[in-house]
Each structure stands twice: as structure tokens, then as C-alpha cells.
């Protein structure tokens, strides 16, 4: 496994991996890797001949009130996990390599980036769209794999790729969960033991609500009950909304996705599940 921090070396290495028409898969990450990331690597392996993983804590996607410095980092641990997972190349640029002085281009996405995380984290999806566009261009990957855990992010990336006619396929990988149902996330390690014990109530309430939503019947009361139960238990719910899966517009029937965000202490938990 090659670890690369320099643009010119990346170009050489990806050209070698793609020689002879071989397909390159990319898994974009911000490090602090967990089982969910390793499953993305395994999916990329199945979809492509070689796999690159990027590790870059992207300052552009942190809103002004979010603490970039507190984002978990574990370079040695990440590289050991990737070496054991069948990754061929790790792309680890620093901030100056990714955004050299004078950089002045940002990718602004409307549609699926509006509301939900877009409202809670101003500028977040502009940062995600910009860095993903750069990562796709830098690696020349044929396919990129994203976790469905960040459902809104996945829809934003799909929108960018479609709108900018990028020659890359986007694969969404189902959310990987801990044994108690909590979605795997690098942020889980920041919870206290009490918060961690309470956290699986979020997916449990979502599941319960989904079983009670009947076609044609108003679902708002069901969701309001789930929000009240979470608040009574100590969560600070931000939203629990049923939306159309790709546009994130309010659900009007047919396929739906339940999106949730709630805070426990200073950890913001995100989750989503399909209707039906
Ligand atoms: O999901 C993440 O870890 C990040 O938002 C991503 C896609 C790597 C872009 O920085």
C-alpha cells in the first residue's frame, strides 16, 4: 500500500493503477476510520480493480461554530487498518496541497443541500461538494463509494456528479451499525458512557415510527411522538422528517427516507432509514 502526500506522485501512482483500462475505486474519508469505512473499502474492491482511500480533514466543510481542531485524528491507526483491508493507495494531502494559495473556486449546490444538515451547518455542503470534486479530479477514479449514513451528503454528491457530467459512478453503501443498532460514526467516540448507552434509542425510535406510518394517513403525529420521547430521554432533537429519497423534498407518497438528527451533549447524531 502506497501512502502519498504529493500531487505529482499521486498522478504517477493513479496512472499506474489505471494502466491497461483497470478501474480505480475511491473511498473519500476524513480519517478516524471505523468498521463502516472498512466496509466501504470492501465495496470499492468489488466495484473496481484497485482502491484508493483519501484521508483529509476538510476545513472547508466545517461551519464557523464547529471545532475543526477537535475532529478525531489517528493517522497510524488508520494506515494500519487500511493496510489490512486491501487498500492500494492512501491519498493524504495537507491543507496547502488541497487548497493552494490563490484557490478561488467553490462548488455551490442547491436542491438536496438545502435544509437539514445544510441549515444546521451553513457552508457544509459547499465544502463537501468542493473537496469531492477535487478528489474525483485528482485521482481520476472511475467509481467512488460513500456511506448511506450521511444520506444528504450522498444525494448532494450524486447531484454534483450529474450536473457537472463527471465520468464517475457513485455507489451508496448501507449504513453500518454497532451491535446495539447505533450507526457507526467517528463522532461516537466523543460520547460519555451514559450518552453512548442512551444513543441507540435514536434508531430504535426511528424504526418504531416507521412501522406506524401508514400509506395515505398523516404521519406528522407519529414523528412528533418520537421526537417527544427522545427529548424526554435527554436528546436534543433537531429534526425527524420523512422526505423523498433523492430530492429531500417533503414525502408525498411512494419511496421515502426518514432523516434524523439529535444532539446528546455536544455530539450530533445523524441517522436515516428507508420507509417500507
Ligand atoms: O463523509 C466524510 O467523511 C466527508 O464529508 C467526505 C466525503 C470525506 C468529504 O470530506
pLDDT of residue 189: 87
Q: Of 34, 37, 65, 124, which is the active-site residue? A: 37
Nearest CA to ligand 1 atom 6: 29
pLDDT of residue 239: 98
Ligand 1 and 186: CB distance under 6 A: no
Given the DSSP bridges, would you call strands 50-55 and 24-29 parallel, antiparallel or unpaired? parallel
Nearest CA to ligand 1 atom 8: 29
Q: What pLDDT digit, counting tens, does each position of 167-176 carry?
A: 999 999 999 9
Nearest CA to ligand 1 atom 2: 29
pLDDT of residue 218: 87
Q: What pLDDT digit, counting tens, does each position of 72-87 carry?
A: 899 999 999 999 999 9
d(CA 190, CA 238): 19
Helices (H) and strands (E) in the chain, counts: 10, 9
Q: Which residue from 36, 99, 132, 149 has its CB within 8 A of the most atoms of ligand 1, so it is best to mutate?
A: 132
Which ranges constitute the DSSP H helices of 86-123?
A: 95-98, 117-120
d(CA 235, CA 246): 27
Ligand 1 and 148: CB distance under 6 A: no
Q: Distances in Å between the alpha carbon of 203 and those of 185, 209, 221? A: 13, 10, 18
d(CA 34, CA 178): 11
CA torsion sign for 248, 121, 154, 139 is positive
Ligand 1 atom index nearest CA of 29: 8
Over the chain (276 residues), the average pLDDT of each successive run of 10 is 98 97 98 96 98 98 87 95 97 98 97 97 97 98 98 98 98 97 92 97 98 86 97 98 97 95 96 95
Ligand 1 atom index nearest CA of 128: 9
16 and 2 Cβ atoms separated by less than 8 Å: no
pLDDT of residue 64: 84
Half-sphere exposure at residue 220, Cβ-oriented, CA atoms within 13 angstroms: 3
pLDDT of residue 65: 80
Q: What angle do CA 114, 122, 53 make, to 5 degrees?
A: 90
Ligand 1 atom index nearest CA of 157: 7
Ligand 1 and 147: CB distance under 6 A: no
Is 37 tagged catalytic?
yes
d(CA 209, CA 206): 5
Q: Is the pTM of this model over 0.75?
A: yes
**Of residues 116, 150, 275, the one with CA closest to residue 207:** 275
Q: Spell out the residues 6+ positions from residue 137 whose beta carbon is closer than 8 angstroms to its own.
A: none
pLDDT of residue 194: 97
Nearest CA to ligand 1 atom 3: 29
Amino acid at each position: 500500500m502506497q501512502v502519498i502526500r504529493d500531487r505529482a506522485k499521486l498522478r504517477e501512482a493513479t496512472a499506474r493503477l489505471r494502466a491497461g483500462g483497470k478501474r480505480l475505486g475511491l473511498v473519500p474519508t476524513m480519517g478516524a476510520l471505523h468498521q463502516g469505512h472498512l466496509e466501504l473499502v470492501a465495496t470499492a474492491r468489488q466495484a473496481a480493480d484497485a482502491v484508493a482511500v483519501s484521508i483529509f480533514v476538510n476545513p472547508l466543510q466545517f461551519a464557523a461554530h464547529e471545532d475543526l481542531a477537535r475532529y478525531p485524528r489517528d493517522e497510524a491507526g488508520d494506515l494500519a487498518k487500511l493496510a489490512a483491508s486491501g487498500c492500494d493507495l492512501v491519498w493524504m494531502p495537507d491543507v496547502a496541497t488541497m487548497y493552494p494559495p490563490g484557490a478561488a473556486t467553490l462548488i455551490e449546490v442547491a436542491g438536496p443541500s438545502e435544509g437539514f444538515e445544510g441549515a444546521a451547518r451553513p457552508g457544509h455542503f459547499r465544502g463537501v461538494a468542493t473537496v469531492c470534486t477535487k478528489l474525483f479530479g485528482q485521482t481520476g477514479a472511475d467509481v467512488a463509494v460513500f456511506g448511506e449514513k450521511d444520506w444528504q451528503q450522498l444525494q448532494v454528491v450524486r447531484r454534483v456528479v450529474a450536473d457537472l457530467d463527471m465520468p464517475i459512478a457513485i455507489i451508496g453503501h448501507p449504513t453500518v451499525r454497532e451491535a446495539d443498532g447505533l450507526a457507526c460514526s467517528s463522532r461516537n467516540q466523543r460520547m460519555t458512557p451514559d450518552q453512548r448507552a442512551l444513543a441507540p434509542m435514536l434508531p430504535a425510535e426511528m424504526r418504531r415510527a416507521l412501522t406506524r406510518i401508514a400509506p395515505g394517513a398523516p404521519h406528522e403525529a407519529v414523528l412528533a411522538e418520537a421526537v417527544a420521547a427522545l427529548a424526554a430521554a435527554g436528546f436534543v432533537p433537531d429534526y425527524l422528517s420523512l422526505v423523498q429519497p433523492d430530492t429531500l423534498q417533503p414525502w408525498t407518497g411512494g419511496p421515502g427516507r426518514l432523516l434524523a438528527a439529535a444532539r446528546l451533549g455536544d455530539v450530533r447524531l445523524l441517522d436515516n432509514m428507508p420507509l417500507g
